[in-house]
Chains A and B, each alone.
Chain A
Amino acid sequence: GEDVEQSLFLSVREGDSSVINCTYTDSSSTYLYWYKQEPGAGLQLLTYIFSNMDMKQDQRLTVLLNKKDKHLSLRIADTQTGDSAIYFCAEMNRDDKIIFGKGTRLHILP
């Protein structure tokens, strides 16, 4: 079946880089996504990568995709207190449904 796995917690010092990792099982995934959720809020699409790409950079965000290992990562450079949130890795499967992981809670240390 389809599954998206990610670690539940990450603590990073302000100004350092954060790297959130994710693995997925569906090799036919077309798009992979990173969503951000702040307390009490809905999901905000941060970035996405098409499955035939291996890297995408967007300002402080870098997404790396290793399709062979089905591994996706999100790097946030110069992490700020406003980056504190839950980050969800997600894949779009062959049926055009987005399947989410359980989320990684990013905690910023002063």
Chain B
Amino acid sequence: DTGVSQDPRHKITKRGQNVTFRCDPISEHNRLYWYRQTLGQGPEFLTYFQNEAQLEKSRLLSDRFSAERPKGSFSTLEIQRTEQGDSAMYLCASSRGQGYGYTFGSGTRLTVV
């Protein structure tokens, strides 16, 4: 197992386009988290899944954002009608469960032009 994988590593898109990112967690981890990190800031929580159930969504996650984890394994994060303010590093993490530390992927850097 090679850890948490995220794809793509970089994405440049025009404002108004839709983008989708993928995260493959560590296989035995049942929790999966999405965070967003902008320049000079720490990661900010967006949402998380316990298996396939989405248990919490941050108010940072506007209606243009949707996340899924259909089979409790990989997850996708879609942003519709991208705006320049969406430019950030999107980080995925997984954990064994409550109380365990997270393992982060390398992130997807989104640039909206």
Chain A residues in contact with chain B, CB under 8 A? 4, 30-31, 33, 35, 41-45, 48, 88, 90, 92, 95-103
Binding site for A on B (CB under 8 A): 4, 33, 40-45, 48, 56, 91, 93, 98-99, 101-107
* B103: A residues at CB distance < 8 A: 45
Majority secondary structure of chain A interface residues (helix, strand, loop or mixed): strand
Task: Find out whether the CB atom of A31 lies under 8 angstroms from the CB atom of B45.
Answer: no
- Chain A contacts of B42 at CB under 8 A? 4, 88, 90, 100-103
Q: Closest Cβ of chain A: how far from B7's Cβ, in Å?
A: 13
Compute how far the CA of A17 lies from the CA of B101 in the bound complex, rounded to whole angstroms.
26
Residues of B within 8 A of A100 (CB): 42-44
**Are A48 and B56 in contact (CB-based, < 8 A)?**
no
Determine whether the beta carbon of A97 is less than 8 Å from that of B56: yes
Contact assessment for B41 and A42 in the assembled complex, using a CB-CB cutoff below 8 Å:
no
Chain A to chain B contacts (Cβ below 8 Å), 30 pairs: A4-B42, A30-B99, A31-B99, A35-B104, A41-B106, A41-B107, A42-B104, A43-B91, A43-B93, A43-B104, A44-B104, A45-B102, A45-B103, A45-B104, A48-B101, A88-B42, A92-B99, A96-B99, A98-B33, A98-B45, A98-B102, A99-B45, A100-B42, A100-B43, A100-B44, A101-B42, A102-B40, A102-B41, A102-B42, A103-B42
